[in-house]
């Protein structure tokens, strides 16, 4: 078995470019050899697999280099944020198996940031602009043409102070004024053209600070400072922030040094550094929070945790394991080049993981009854089954007794797949046909079909066969070879399961690149529901989920010939619900 393949892969892989930077910093004793990262989600939506790429980086660096990774909620826009999201983000990260040091909120720093803004105003480095957002945008210029200065740019300091304080007191209407940094309207980096530091938001209370604040800091003014207050050494983010980095450094330049001692506990030489890597994009899905929210709100999916969603809770419900997701991140790696990852690689990774661990059980999706006419009722005992079955034993994964066995009740009447029987077949058909070949029933006996019965419409209702009592698997006769093995489930003990067959959410490779409405590109066949007959060993799933470290555990199965499945939380004491994680066929390596 290739049990440790992925672990070996990751040990053997060369350092990614961020790890190289970290090792160099450690070698040079930068920031006293301290390693501190943060994962900074905005609590305005659910985490998706793109975020997991950042999580694996931020937490991974801390784990690997004996540092700490904190969780910081970047909650500077009360209009979109909610405690609901804070809770799901924590739950998802814990499920992925990462442990944060502290939990911080950007809103913890609202007072400090406000005081800094006042300080900027007093030093002539910020001004209150009364223009409309459109006017401000128009004056920005283009990368090749300089911008135009606002008529309010040279307001006296006293007036700026008075207006900014009035903004905070709630005396100015939302959208009427902003505080801008006075930097350089001709700078080739557009982010330097007097970026907005603060805006007014009075329409929504903040999920933590309520109505305490009427002005809220913008990302650029909040992020670097928050890093600095906390002592972050490596502020790792995605490539779209690369053009923000000079501004990140500019704001830090203004607050570090002797004048500002005391803002951070790490002394005058300490300095956080921003580093950027490529975002994750995956085919046949969307990862924009806005689009995902639309899918949820409009009922186009069943919720944030719909198994077709690229969210962490969706992947979890689809049957992805934390290990598979982490292995996937290891495989794709971190670079400075944006690209698109084939969803097939994600599916390949979960197959690789589940093939080693998921018990393989029988489930019949399109059942037809098989009656074994020469089966003696004297063999029927199997107490738990009410004296109607012969208790056979099957290995969870063939050839691996160490992975456990289970009881597979056998009897006179079985469910088999309709497609495994043909009334008239040529000699290329190796499965059941009257007068045809011998066929092995998975982990049990060899049978031969003798005939069938049909209803008025000509649909086959029952298949008849005889069995060879000396051919039982696990006995000497069990070694006899047949051309085909078919799956079966004993009728009296079988369990009905609702099986949700999920496929890709979108019909096109890159829905974000297409013209028109992305909702028109949804795959109409992304969910089919069938009722299957499954073997009685799955009866144990009709219980409350098992908790491990307070986290509900998902149970995975391979339904033979059908694919990998996970038990859905909709399962009750009466009804089993299974979700298809992926099919068995792997086209990725081709
Ligand atoms: P938005 O800012 O539009 O709300 P976002 O996807 O950037 O959405 P954040 O909560 O700000 O969401 O992201 C938190 C962290 O996750 C950031 O550091 C961001 O760079 C990273 N991240 C977000 N999307 C991806 C992605 N597709 N691939 C890698 N990292 C990502
Ligand atoms: Mg963001």
Q: Pick 19 or 6 by higher pLDDT.
A: 19
Predicted confidence at residue 261, as pLDDT, reads: 62
Read off the pLDDT of residues 119-156 as tens digits, 9 standing for 90 and up. 999 999 999 999 999 999 999 999 999 999 999 999 99
Residue 72 in contact with ligand 1 by CB distance below 6 A: no
Strands 439-441 and 485-486 turn out to be parallel
- Residues with Cβ within 8 Å of residue 62, at least 6 apart in sequence: 35, 36, 37, 68, 69, 101
Output the residue whose Cα is nearest ligand 1's atom 18.
237
Predicted confidence at residue 366, as pLDDT, reads: 97
The continuous run of DSSP H or E covering 461 comes out as strand 460-468
The continuous run of DSSP H or E covering 498 comes out as strand 495-502
% of the chain residues with pLDDT over 70: 95
Closest-lying ligand to the alpha carbon of 241?
1
Output the residue whose Cα is nearest ligand 1's atom 2.
42
SS (H, E, C) 16-37: CHHHHHHHHHHHHCHHHHCCEE
Q: Distance (Å, rounded) from C-alpha 434 to C-alpha 453?
A: 12
Output the residue whose Cα is nearest ligand 1's atom 15.
41
Provide mean pLDDT across the span 381-393.
Answer: 67
Q: Distance (Å, rounded) from C-alpha 181 to C-alpha 197?
A: 6
pLDDT exceeds cutoff 60 at 236: yes
Token pair 């580093």 is found at 275
pLDDT band at residue 7 under the 50/70/90 scheme: very low
Provide mean pLDDT across the span 560-581.
Answer: 96
Q: How far is the CA of 164 from the centre of ligand 1 (A)?
A: 30
- Residues with Cβ within 8 Å of residue 204, at least 6 apart in sequence: 78, 79
Provide mean pLDDT across the span 205-225.
Answer: 97
pLDDT band at residue 387 under the 50/70/90 scheme: low
pLDDT band at residue 388 under the 50/70/90 scheme: low
pLDDT exceeds cutoff 50 at 293: yes
Predicted confidence at residue 264, as pLDDT, reads: 82
Look at residues 205, 203, 151 and name the one whose alpha carbon lies nearest to residue 180. Answer: 151
Output the residue whose Cα is nearest ligand 1's atom 29.
279
Read off the pLDDT of residues 23-42 as tens digits, 9 standing for 90 and up. 999 999 999 999 999 999 99
Token pair 């066995």 is found at 405
Predicted confidence at residue 269, as pLDDT, reads: 84
Residue 287 in contact with ligand 1 by CB distance below 6 A: yes
Provide mean pLDDT across the span 438-449.
Answer: 96
Output the residue whose Cα is nearest ligand 1's atom 22.
51
Q: Distance (Å, rounded) from C-alpha 476 to C-alpha 470?
A: 8
**Closest ligand 1 atom number to CA of residue 53:** 29
Strands 273-277 and 413-417 turn out to be unpaired
Residue 310 in contact with ligand 1 by CB distance below 6 A: no
Residue 279 in contact with ligand 1 by CB distance below 6 A: yes
Provide mean pLDDT across the span 433-462.
Answer: 95
Residue 576 in contact with ligand 1 by CB distance below 6 A: no
Q: Distance (Å, rounded) from C-alpha 187 to C-alpha 433?
A: 80
Q: How far is the CA of 457 from the centre of ligand 2 (A)?
A: 60
Q: How many CB atoms lie within 10 A of CB 470?
A: 12
Residue 54 in contact with ligand 1 by CB distance below 6 A: yes
Provide mean pLDDT across the span 503-509.
Answer: 96
Mean pLDDT of the chain: 93
Predicted confidence at residue 4, as pLDDT, reads: 34
Closest-lying ligand to the alpha carbon of 54?
1
For the chain, the residue count is 590
Output the residue whose Cα is nearest ligand 1's atom 13.
41
Q: How far is the CA of 282 from the centre of ligand 1 (A)?
A: 14
Output the residue whose Cα is nearest ligand 1's atom 26.
50
Residue 37 in contact with ligand 1 by CB distance below 6 A: no
Q: Distance (Å, rounded) from C-alpha 353 to C-alpha 355?
A: 6
DSSP letters of 432-457? B-TT---EEETTS-EEEEEEEEE-TT
Predicted confidence at residue 260, as pLDDT, reads: 57
pLDDT exceeds cutoff 50 at 19: yes
pLDDT band at residue 389 under the 50/70/90 scheme: confident
Q: Which of 245-259, 289-303, 449-463 has the lowest mean pLDDT?
A: 245-259
SS (H, E, C) 233-294: CEEEEEHHHHHHHHHHHHHHHHHCCHHHCCCCCCCCCCCCEEEEECCCCECCCCCCHHHHHH
% of the chain residues with pLDDT over 90: 86
- Residues with Cβ within 8 Å of residue 276, at least 6 apart in sequence: 236, 237, 238, 239, 241, 242, 245, 336
Predicted confidence at residue 8, as pLDDT, reads: 41
**Closest ligand 1 atom number to CA of residue 280:** 28
Residue 93 in contact with ligand 1 by CB distance below 6 A: no
Residues designated as active site: 42, 279, 289
Closest-lying ligand to the alpha carbon of 286?
1
Query: Where on the phi/psi map is residue 473: left (φ > 0), alpha (ψ -120 to 50), or beta?
Result: beta
Say if residues 359 and 397 touch (Cβ distance below 8 Å). yes
359 DSSP assignment: P
pLDDT band at residue 1 under the 50/70/90 scheme: very low
Q: How far is CA 485 from CA 36, 241, 270, 447, in A?
A: 56, 56, 67, 10
Q: Distance (Å, rounded) from C-alpha 420 to C-alpha 449?
A: 11
Torsion of CA 407, 412, 418, 419, to 10 degrees: 70
Is residue 80 exposed (0-12), middle (13-18) or buried (19+ Cβ within 10 Å)?
middle
Closest-lying ligand to the alpha carbon of 75?
1
Q: How far is the CA of 255 from the centre of ligand 2 (A)?
A: 24
Q: How far is the CA of 84 from the centre of ligand 1 (A)?
A: 18
Alpha helix stretches (DSSP H) within 101-156? 110-122, 133-139
Q: How far is the CA of 153 from the centre of ligand 2 (A)?
A: 29
Strands 103-105 and 68-73 turn out to be parallel
Residue 312 in contact with ligand 1 by CB distance below 6 A: no
Q: How far is the CA of 543 from the centre of ligand 2 (A)?
A: 40
Look at residues 538, 535, 511, 536 and name the one whose alpha carbon lies nearest to residue 523. Answer: 511
Read off the pLDDT of residues 543-558 as tens digits, 9 standing for 90 and up. 777 777 777 889 999 9
Q: How far is the CA of 71 from the centre of ligand 2 (A)?
A: 14
Q: Pick 385 or 480 by higher pLDDT.
A: 480
Predicted confidence at residue 547, as pLDDT, reads: 75
Ligand 1 pocket test, pick from 42, 60, 222 with the greatest ligand atom count within 8 Å of Cβ, gives: 42
Output the residue whose Cα is nearest ligand 1's atom 3.
289
């Amino acid at each position: 078995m290739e049990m440790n393949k992925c672990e070996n892969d990751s040990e053997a892989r060369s350092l990614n470019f961020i790890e190289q930077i970290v090792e160099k910093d450690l070698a040079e004793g930068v920031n006293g050899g301290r390693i501190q990262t943060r994962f900074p989600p905005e609590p305005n939506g659910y985490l998706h697999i793109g975020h997991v790429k950042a999580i694996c980086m931020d937490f991974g660096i801390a784990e690997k280099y004996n540092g700490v990774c904190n969780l910081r909620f970047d909650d500077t826009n009360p209009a979109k944020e909610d405690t609901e999201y804070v809770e799901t983000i924590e739950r998802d990260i814990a499920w992925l198996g990462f442990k944060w040091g502290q939990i911080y909120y950007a809103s913890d720093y609202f007072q400090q940031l406000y005081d800094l803004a006042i300080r900027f105003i007093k030093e002539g480095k910020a001004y209150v602009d009364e223009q409309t957002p459109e006017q401000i945008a128009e004056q920005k210029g283009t990368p090749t043409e300089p911008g135009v200065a606002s008529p309010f740019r040279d307001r006296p300091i006293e007036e700026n102070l008075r207006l900014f304080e009035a903004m905070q007191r709630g005396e100015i209407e939302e959208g009427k004024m902003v505080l801008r940094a006075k930097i350089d309207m001709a700078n080739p980096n557009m982010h330097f053209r007097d970026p907005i530091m603060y805006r007014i938001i009075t329409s929504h209370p903040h999920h933590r600070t309520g109505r305490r604040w009427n002005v809220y800091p913008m990302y650029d003014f909040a992020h670097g400072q928050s890093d600095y207050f906390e002592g972050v050494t490596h502020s790792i983010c995605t490539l779209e922030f690369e053009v923000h980095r000079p501004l990140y450094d500019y704001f830090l330049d203004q607050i570090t040094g002797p004048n500002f001692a005391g803002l951070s506990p790490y002394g005058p030489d300490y300095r956080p550094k921003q580093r950027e890597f490529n975002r994750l994009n995956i085919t046949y899905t969307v990862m924009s929070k806005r689009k995902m929210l639309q899918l949820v709100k409009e009922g186009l999916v069943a919720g944030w945790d719909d198994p077709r969603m690229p969210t962490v809770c969706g992947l979890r419900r689809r049957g992805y394991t934390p290990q598979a997701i982490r292995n996937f991140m290891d495989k794709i790696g971190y670079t400075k080049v944006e690209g698109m990852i084939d969803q097939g690689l994600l599916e390949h990774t979960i197959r690789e993981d589940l093939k080693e661990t998921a018990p393989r059980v029988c489930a019949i999706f399109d059942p037809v009854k098989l009656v074994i006419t020469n089966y003696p009722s004297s063999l029927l005992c199997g107490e738990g089954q009410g004296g109607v079955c012969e208790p056979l034993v099957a290995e969870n994964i063939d050839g691996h007794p160490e992975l456990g066995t289970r009881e597979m009740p056998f009897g006179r009447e079985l469910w088999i797949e309709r497609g495994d029987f043909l009334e008239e077949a040529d000699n290329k058909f190796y499965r059941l046909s009257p007068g045809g070949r011998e066929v092995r029933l998975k982990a049990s006996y060899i049978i031969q079909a003798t005939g069938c019965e049909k209803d008025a419409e000509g649909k086959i209702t029952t298949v008849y066969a005889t069995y060879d009592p000396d051919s039982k698997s696990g006995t000497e006769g069990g070694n006899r070879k047949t051309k085909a093995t078919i799956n079966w489930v004993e009728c009296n003990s079988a369990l009905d399961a609702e099986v949700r067959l999920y496929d890709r959410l979108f019909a096109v490779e890159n829905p974000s690149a297409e013209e028109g409405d992305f909702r028109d590109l949804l795959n109409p066949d992304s969910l089919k529901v069938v009722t299957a007959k499954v073997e009685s060993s799955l009866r144990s799933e009709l219980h409350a989920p098992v908790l491990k470290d307070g986290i509900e555990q998902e149970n995975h199965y391979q339904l033979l010939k059908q694919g990998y499945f996970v038990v859905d939380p909709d399962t009750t004491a009466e009804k089993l619900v299974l979700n298809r994680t992926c099919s068995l066929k792997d086209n990725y390596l081709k």
